[in-house]
Structure 1
């Protein structure tokens, strides 16, 4: 009997004809092929659509959605609306992954059912450099507190500079993280569509604020391709106000979340004190 997939890989794509075959070739060679590939073609005007369609026979579960161009956040939201598996992750069309990528998310959720988010590390790959380099040599593994989770994910500089040296094996990206679709549906989560960047950090922080349990490892499984022509590596003036706006939203969410955690701890301590007093009486 064929087992139904537990993981959906959402891949928003736009004019990535030079890179999409590499991405799909690596996904087609996963150790665990029991996943659904959900491709959202965001109005590509090059040969991206044609190349993607040629790969349909290489995946057991694949869905291609073609839509007018609406931007990355819009494409991600369309993908979210079509997820029909318990877990999901994201994958950019110009990047690629190691063979253990999909199995990591599935196994991590199986081994840690109490957590709502899991994350792996990632490689940095450059056009003019040979070989892959881990984003940091910092080693982390295990379930983290809410405060530590925010510290690992939050990157106030966003993409204003090439600031990987300041980063962690986690950071605020979506493509190295696994999520539960039940959290998204119950809380009506989506990506903000009026920001040029950092919308992924906002989504992650909102998601963490609504849940308990975050498991992460620094083991790199995702290859982040450093394109000179990509949006995040080309400075534009809209990044400055968007950076301030995003950081304001993120800081507000984190402060409110940690304050709620503090109140829960105080309430728990008070209940323990009251229970102790009742036992002595």
Structure 2
């Protein structure tokens, strides 16, 4: 383990079908001095057997077993406790990576960055499946709080997930992370230390392949344990808004609304009355955004602005959020 320069944390829950691909991708990394912690979140398939065999074959692989399924966020936290390297990254067990995934992030972060980012693409169900339109990446070095926050709040290249990023381990260990939910938990984690960042490097090369499944947390109704997510994220973003320019304040409101639109579209109509406080936060935030110049930045499409106006006027936040998503899906289908 002393030869490790980078740690990779891989949460696993019934990912036996893709684990051979994960082993292959990791074994073929051009950067070879790394350790991998497979955190088995109480899998009931062949994951344990497959990982233990891989551990026997590669001394850079380590197996951690959790007796109870607690979710990906908790599994990552457990994995982090074992990390002793200066740098750490994450890999989801249903995704794929290129051979230079680690090398690109490692070389980039060595230039003095707190976080290095590489590009990614998205596929439905498996690598080679239908390709999903994703962001366009460009090589950038973000320096200073306002520049970093501007990119983070815009949610374009510096986005709210861990797997296409390498971090200085101390940031994650020292951060206060709200790990009580499993919806946009990565955003909450990055929010908790975003103000400490001095430099973020972005490499435009596509190194990570995100495989989107129908069981993704972004394609299901929220579990009651996740209802608290929006309030926590909104509170974090409000605190961030106090640490930048007027533009950062408006962008913090924008990001809160953007998250809210996703959140309420995943709430059942029958549960609408159970998230009243979150609806109140969302409506107040939207009013402030529209009143304080948010419209001038053209951050939302014309159709979304109409939906926001309807939500503020009627307070039917869940209904209109879900109608909006349905219309977007119809539009995407017609354009495909």
Q: Could you tell me the TM-score, scaled by structure 1's length?
A: 0.77
Q: 1: CA distance between counterparts of 2:205 and 2:48?
A: 32
More helix by share: 2
> Helix, strand or coil: the match of 1:38?
strand
Partner of residue 268, structure 2: none
Q: Which aligned pairs between 1:98-109 and structure 2 lie closer than 5 A?
A: 98-109=98-109
Return closer, same or farther for 1:4/1:139 CA change in 2, 3 Å cut-off: same
Q: 2:121 aligns with which of 117, 120, 123?
A: 123
Native 8 Å contact 1:122 1:134 kept in 2: no
Q: 1:182 aligns with which of 167, 170, 181?
A: 170
Partner of residue 264, structure 2: none
Q: Which ranges in structure 1 are unaligned for 5 or more consecutive residues?
A: 156-166, 263-281
Partner of residue 42, structure 2: 43
Deviation, structure 1 residue 192: 2.4
Native 8 Å contact 1:205 1:253 kept in 2: no
Q: Deviations over 1:1-32 (max 9, x none)?
A: x9722100011111111222212211111111
Partner of residue 83, structure 2: 83
Q: 1: CA distance between counterparts of 2:147 and 2:239?
A: 15
Deviation, structure 1 residue 248: 1.0
Deviation, structure 1 residue 245: 1.5
Q: 2: CA distance between counterparts of 1:254 and 1:121?
A: 26
Q: 2: CA distance between counterparts of 1:26 and 1:192?
A: 31
Return closer, same or farther for 1:239/1:121 CA change in 2, 3 Å cut-off: farther
The one of the two structures with greater contact order (alpha-carbon pairs below 8 A, sep at least 6) is 1
Deviates more, 1:133-142 or 1:78-87: 133-142
Partner of residue 170, structure 1: 158
Native 8 Å contact 1:134 1:220 kept in 2: no
Q: State whether structure 2 residue 208 is matched by structure 1 residue 208.
A: no
Native 8 Å contact 2:145 2:197 kept in 1: no
Q: State whether structure 2 residue 220 is matched by structure 1 residue 234.
A: yes
> Helix, strand or coil: the match of 1:106?
helix
Native 8 Å contact 2:118 2:205 kept in 1: yes
Return closer, same or farther for 1:191/1:199 CA change in 2, 3 Å cut-off: same
Q: 2: CA distance between counterparts of 1:131 and 1:244?
A: 31
Q: 2: CA distance between counterparts of 1:79 and 1:257?
A: 31
Return closer, same or farther for 1:93/1:191 CA change in 2, 3 Å cut-off: farther
Native 8 Å contact 2:106 2:116 kept in 1: no
Q: Deviations over 1:97-151 (max 9, x none)?
A: 00101111221122x12x2111111110113864656722342422344333234
Deviates more, 1:65-74 or 1:85-94: 65-74
Matched length: 244
Q: Deviations over 1:162-194 (max 9, x none)?
A: xxxxx5233110111111122334x3x254232
Q: 2: CA distance between counterparts of 1:33 and 1:131?
A: 32
Deviation, structure 1 residue 58: 4.3
Return closer, same or farther for 1:65/1:255 CA change in 2, 3 Å cut-off: same
Return closer, same or farther for 1:152/1:220 CA change in 2, 3 Å cut-off: farther
Deviates more, 1:67-76 or 1:243-252: 243-252
> Helix, strand or coil: the match of 1:27?
helix
Deviates more, 1:81-90 or 1:204-213: 204-213
Q: Which ranges in structure 2 are unaligned for 5 or more consecutive residues?
A: 249-336
